[in-house]
Amino acid sequence: MATLNLPHATARASGHDGGGMRLAFDVTTMVKPQRGGIATYGCELIRAIVRLAPEHEIVLAIRANRWKKRELIDDLMGLLPEGSRPRLLVDFFADSSIGRPDVMHAIGVRLPPRMHAARVFTLHDLNVFEFPELADPEWVKQRQARIRETAARADLVISYSEQGKQALTDLLGFPADRVRVVPCGVDTTHFRRPDPPVLETVLRRRGLLGPDGSPRPYVLLAGQLSPRKNQAGLIAAFARACAERDGGAPALPDNWLLVLPGPRDADADQLRRLAREAGLPDDRVVLPGWVPDGDLPALLSGAALYVCASLHEGFGLPVLEAQACGTPVLCSDRGALKETLGGCGVHFDPTDASGFAAALVAMARDDAMRAEFSRRGPARVLGGYSWEEVAKRTLAVHAEALEGVQH
């Protein structure tokens, strides 16, 4: 594990004369025991920058309200390459002069109001503006205000997609010439089809093998329970596909399963209730709970079909992760998802219940189509979505922002 070279809570970074930039990242949102998509983005981006450009000094900035989570901070530091020894900056909001990095990059939705640094903000999505009805009204109000405030403080904004860039301009009036599009990346050394013994072990542990030990075909959607992720829509479509008859046989054969990893126990109870109300027996729906990173590639690789049913996404990283594992993808056409899918899969309207079910059946039945997308997916991801490429393009944004504030 990389060690902290700043021993106490508040510390001042020293001068950096190695020819690179001092880059501070607000990683507060990443200090949590179970990391989602934003934390994955931050971890992988910083690790790739350390690998690609070791001449830059990395500062991990953490707001004071998370400093008490010291064991999680140590865990976060351990994600960085051994020997990189990043500095740690705490409570930079209390004293915006602390550390004086060249660039302050907000991974979450916070930037200091004043700081002697170029300020860059990664906009993950504008869900609270585009679909405010899908979240708690008070949270939507707070989040909208925070995004407006942070965008206004940024010299440059990074968007994952052209759709996100356009939405930022249309909904917030943010100047398009200050937005740079840099898609997410995928760690293809991790997200790839594992060796058969590893795959079999994970599928057996998750109850996804038949009585004879052979894998059962399953439809997969990974993620925490959310109206925006639309697990309810997928359950309804899967149930409809199972109930429909074609010449006396079910449109979706009885051996197909629906697998929904991610939701915690209370949320799993809600999903189980929705499945029963839709007419699905318990043994057709598998709810593994939170799946550790080590099992996720196997779970993706074992799926006959990955479904992204979201009503909106600012990018949709699991789509790329599934493609990297050679899993065919059926994907919603909302938000930036068409860009993310890139034609390497089939898209559908998630609000059209009958169309959703029909797309699910059509793709499940078409072995040749699924095989073609399985073949094309890994090459597509490897060719354009490495974290090294993301790091390279992000560093260019940092340099551009720094040059702008120096002139």
**Confidence check: pLDDT of 243 > 70:** yes
pLDDT (tens digit per residue) in 275-293: 999 999 999 999 998 888 8
Tell how many helices (H) and how many strands (E) occur in the chain. 14, 15
Over residues 336-356, the pLDDT tens digits come to 999 999 999 999 999 999 999
**3-class secondary-structure state, position 224:** coil
Residue 76: the pLDDT is 66
The distance in angstroms from the start CA to the end CA of the chain is: 40
What pLDDT score was predicted for residue 2? 28
Tokens standing for residue 104: 């302050």
Pull the structure tokens for residue 349: 């309207």
Spatial CA neighbour of 335 closest among 309, 362, 363, 307: 309
pLDDT band at 306 (very low <50, low <70, confident <90, very high): very high
Rounded CA separation 200/210 (Å): 11
Q: Read off the pLDDT of residues 102-124 as tens digits, 9 standing for 90 and up.
A: 999 999 888 988 778 899 999 99
Reduce the DSSP state of residue 253 to 3 states and report it. Answer: coil
Per the prediction, the chain carries an average pLDDT of: 86
Two tokens, residue 379: 């090459």
- Which is more confident, 210 or 111? 111
User: To which residue do tokens 């910083």 refer?
Assistant: 46
DSSP at 62: E
Collapse the DSSP code of 137 into the 3-class scheme (helix H, G, I; strand E, B; otherwise coil) and give the result. Answer: helix
Instruction: Indicate if the pLDDT at residue 313 is higher than 50.
Output: yes
Q: Which two tokens stand for residue 58?
A: 């990395």
